[in-house]
Structure 1
Amino acid sequence: MWGIIPAAGAGSRIQPLAFSKELLPVGNRVSNDLEQPRAVSEYLVERMIAGGADKLCFVISPNKTDIVEYYGTRTWGAEIAYVVQPQPSGLCDALFRAIPFVHESEPVLIGLPDTIWQPVDALKSLPEDELSFLLFPVEHPELFDAVSTDPAGRVQHIHVKQRNASTHWIWGAFKMPGHIYRELHRLWLRPERRDEYFGTLVNAWLSEGGQALGIPSGTSYIDTGTLNGYRTAMGLLDPRQPQLSVPIVGEETRVHELAVENSR
């Protein structure tokens, strides 16, 4: 199973940094009895491997050689490949850079490397035979891609950074079989498409008869790509701080608890 990690973004929301935003230190880990800072993208790597990925593909920009250096000098439990997105041309362009690696029979996991979410093994709840989104409840869905589903969990529409979205559930990661990954790529290649956002591409795919599931298995979601999100993540990962069971984090630093059954 492939895990595709789009890591070519400039990280303009949290600049200036002297390194790639995916290597931003957040929390720590212990290796050989030595406590070390942990890069934020490690959380996604950990979750993808827990979800069954045995191959990872980082999509990087030409100047992000520090990511290759960082991940190329450690053993992670998965084979790692790299592809280059020459110019920042949106999430869809980045994701489909991995097309040469993925066979149509192989499942694909996709997540964002500047996010931290719980539970660690949530990707296991997604089926491998259809496009499925791992959903999280958040306070400010307008900052993300909110996902409307019917009572059976079928995705009806993805609201891309839309104010007054009809749901507080957003996608934080997704899974699909390789043949659907390739179907979406063919749709994206049409001259009238070339979507920047994955949500608008999926909406077009749904309108042509495609189907997708929304699985509300996520409990907390933090976007560390902003200064406030970074501060929130640092606070929540500090073992000296009391931990909330279901933190809901948007652009602001406020943290709330939201019952899953009252959020759909």
Structure 2
Amino acid sequence: MKAVVLAAGEGTRLRPLTEDKPKGMVEVDGKPILTHCFEQMAALGADELVVVVGYMKEAIISHYGDEFAGMPITYTHQREQDGLAHALLTAEEHVDDDFMLMLGDNIFDANLEDVVRRQREDRADAAFLVEEVPWEDASRYGVCDTNDYGEITDVVEKPEDPPSNLVMTGFYTFTPAIFHACHLVQPSNRGEYELSEAVDLLIQSGRTIDAIRMDGWRVDVGYPEDREKAEGLLRGEDAVDASEGGSGEATAGSE
């Protein structure tokens, strides 16, 4: 299974850490965020990486070159930061089967393998790692509704009145059908082509999307304090609250 990593974002909320580097190259516990992402993809059995770059792309390309841990790397370029669906479409011509997708500003220590197993064994149309967050924080995320079978029935991006407190975490598996849905997405109120809208189109077309609840932790490294949180968790420091997740406001393809 190929792995697509979205790493085109500028990381404006991470300044001053991103004044001279793209967000994916900010170091967490001694290595870039993208290295953490790539290592996790390798552990999940990815046989090739497709990395979507944009802001200061040369820093990423020169650092990793054309392979990582034996996995060939193909780079695609998101020229304008127009949202995650827009970023994903740049990888379309390089993906022809089921694939993993990770936002390149997330660090996980969680059951990602359960998502991949569901895709491989059950041939799901898609599977997402999801987590429950405090209700007051849900409006920062892509919020999911599920049915009694654990299937996602609705996704809303950063809703003012969240229908649930179950949110997408930034790790997914898809079939190539997601690309067709991305082509149909219209700009949101934020002026971006939202991945959540593409997911909703898949659901409306009758596709089945399984929600896999997270067992472990993840941090969306959107602000400098999120980097500190991730470092504490990676070092096993009990003082860090894993349940807080991350800021939830940084998006690898648009910020």
Cα gap change, 1:132 to 1:69, in 2 (>3 Å)? same
Q: Does 1:142 align with 2:133?
A: no
Partner of 2:172 in structure 1? 174
Post-superposition offset of 1:62: 6.0
CA distance in 1: counterparts of 2:206 and 2:222, whole angstroms: 34
Post-superposition offset of 1:120: 5.9
Q: Does 1:92 align with 2:85?
A: yes
Q: Name the aligned partner's letter for residue 126 of structure 1.
A: R
Q: 2:99 aligns with which of 108, 111, 119?
A: 108
Cα gap change, 1:88 to 1:121, in 2 (>3 Å)? closer
Partner of 1:25 in structure 2? 27
User: What secondary structure, in the 3-state scheme, does the structure 2 residue paired with 1:196 have?
Assistant: coil
Partner of 1:256 in structure 2? none
Cα gap change, 1:204 to 1:184, in 2 (>3 Å)? closer
- Unmatched 5+ stretches in structure 1: 28-36, 253-264
Larger RCO: Structure 1 or Structure 2 (Cα < 8 Å, ≥ 6 residues apart)? Answer: 2
Post-superposition offset of 1:111: 0.9
Check whether the contact 1:50–1:121 (CA below 8 A) recurs between aligned residues. no
Check whether the contact 1:137–1:219 (CA below 8 A) recurs between aligned residues. no
Larger C-alpha radius of gyration, 1 or 2?
1
Counting helix residues as a fraction of each chain, which structure ranks higher?
2
Q: 1:214 aligns with which of 204, 211, 214?
A: 211
May I ask how many residue pairs the two structures share in their alignment? 237
Q: Name the aligned partner's letter for residue 229 of structure 2.
A: T
Q: 1:236 aligns with which of 211, 233, 236?
A: 233
Check whether the contact 1:125–1:217 (CA below 8 A) recurs between aligned residues. no
User: What secondary structure, in the 3-state scheme, does the structure 2 residue paired with 1:126 have?
Assistant: helix
CA distance in 2: counterparts of 1:78 and 1:131, whole angstroms: 23
- Unmatched 5+ stretches in structure 2: 249-255
TM-score, structure 1 normalization: 0.80
Could you report, residue by residue, the CA deviation over 1:204-248 in whole angstroms, capped at 9, with x for unpaired residues? 332233331111144322111112212211222235x23779533
Name the % identity. Answer: 22
TM-score, structure 2 normalization: 0.82
Q: Name the aligned partner's letter for residue 124 of structure 1.
A: V
Check whether the contact 2:4–2:49 (CA below 8 A) recurs between aligned residues. yes
CA distance in 2: counterparts of 1:97 and 1:134, whole angstroms: 23
Partner of 2:9 in structure 1? 9
Q: Does 1:82 align with 2:62?
A: no
